[in-house]
Amino acid sequence: MTARGLIIGAPRSGSGKTSVTIGILRALERRGLSVGGAKSGPDYIDPGFHHAATGRPGVNLDSWAMSPPLLNALAANAASQADLLFIESAMGLFDGIPAASGRSGSAADLARLYSLPVLLVLDVSGQSQTAAAIAKGFATYDPDVRIAGVVLNRLGSERHRRLAGDAVEALGLPVVGAILRDPTLSLPERHLGLVQASEHADLIAHLDRLADMAERSLDLDAIIALMTPLAPKGADFSDALPPPGQRIALAQDAAFTFIYPHVAAHWREAGAEIIPFSPVADEAPSQNCDVCWLPGGYPELHAGKLAAAEKFRTGMAKFAQTKLVHGECGGFMALGEALEDADGTTHRMLGLLGHSTSFARRKMNLGYRQATLLSDCPLGPAGSTVRGHEFHYAQTVTPGSDDKLADLADGQGNPLGAFGGRRGHVTGTFFHAIARG
């Protein structure tokens, strides 16, 4: 059987599409249906919730960072693992960057490419019939993006539902859900967005509350009926990031939480073995591994424990003498000399690179990145390009004197200069790698 797909979009972030998506996924999984979730763009938190809700790994589908063959391969793989695939939009449905046709990074690119219908989630708090004007704008903005149904979110009353719903349905758009305002449905947030699924104190209970909401407030059978076949063609994994080694020591704990699901999955598919360890628990990477990867996360929240983790420190120093070490974002911060936390306290880090970072002196850095590597490293050979994404508030306060890792450009190709660090076998950068350029 061919899987069926649907995109869940909204006019903007904060409209409630994540709660709607998770609620649908969990409710249908509880019914015993084969269901999976995906996320458009580079957001790395929501796939964890999709995985928790369905038991199937989440995946990012990014039309800017991934070449069309790799995008098709990941979409086809996700479709092979579930009968029903729900793709949650990042930000607003049409939000991306100026780029070649179909390469903006928006969820609308996926709707056009795979001819998938869109379920539009509208936060109608503070409005009623105006919701119809917004829905009409979405329905007519791009003839190749079809709005198939509407969910009205954060309604105040039954009268509110009638006023907004009748106006939307007068356009010929079916309203397949009406959700009353309920602050208990909101997911907790921190500076980079939602608290990750693995950190949620009462995750399963919250997933079930969202599923109960979906059963109560959405016409799930009507939503399933909106879905259309998803069968990507031209799939090819050749642009996926290859494993940086045969045995990969991967930091995984409360401080180092983030690696894109498709990256780790491809490493395993390519035959690599991933050996996790916990720096926060003062564990060192296994010396039997041939590369160590420190992923992104929240080292600023655990800087004291990391500074006191002597086994971790000495083990990393020994490992780096003969084997490759790479850090992304939070991992890059940990590789430096020092990290200043939000309270202004400076903590000693690994000192394998010479920079220092501060979370107290915050500045948001956000956007797509294209990196041309200046030397061989775990991301690839010198001269090759890697596409990725940067999202952090910490900034470098002492640059150090290490060689730079890569020449960076933004998503539109505007040069940003040389960034990252390289010293011996150790490399690091603030951007998260997604795929080969």
- Known catalytic residues are 329
3-state secondary structure of 207: helix
DSSP assignments along 211-238, one per residue: HHHHHHHB-HHHHHHH-EE----S---T
Sheet strand arrangement including 291-294: 273-277, 247-251, 291-294, 324-328, 426-429, 421-423
Name the helix (H) or strand (E) containing 331: helix 330-335
* C-beta separation of 393 from 300 below 8 A: no
Q: Residue 17: what residue type?
A: K
- Residue from 78, 86, 85 nearest 8 by CA: 86
Checking DSSP bridges between strand 365-373 and strand 385-392, what pairing results, if any? antiparallel
Q: What is the C-alpha to C-alpha distance for residues 332 and 326, in angstroms, rounded to an integer? A: 8
Nearest Cα to Cα of residue 175 among 127, 106, 124, 126: 124
Question: What is the per-residue DSSP string for 106-162?
Answer: -HHHHHHHHT--EEEEEE-TT-STHHHHHHHHHHHH-TTS-EEEEEEEEE-SHHHHH
Measured between alpha carbons, how far is 119 from 5 in angstroms, rounded to an integer?
A: 11
Separation between Cα atoms, residue 35 and residue 228, nearest integer Å? 14
Question: Tokens standing for 218?
Answer: 């959405």
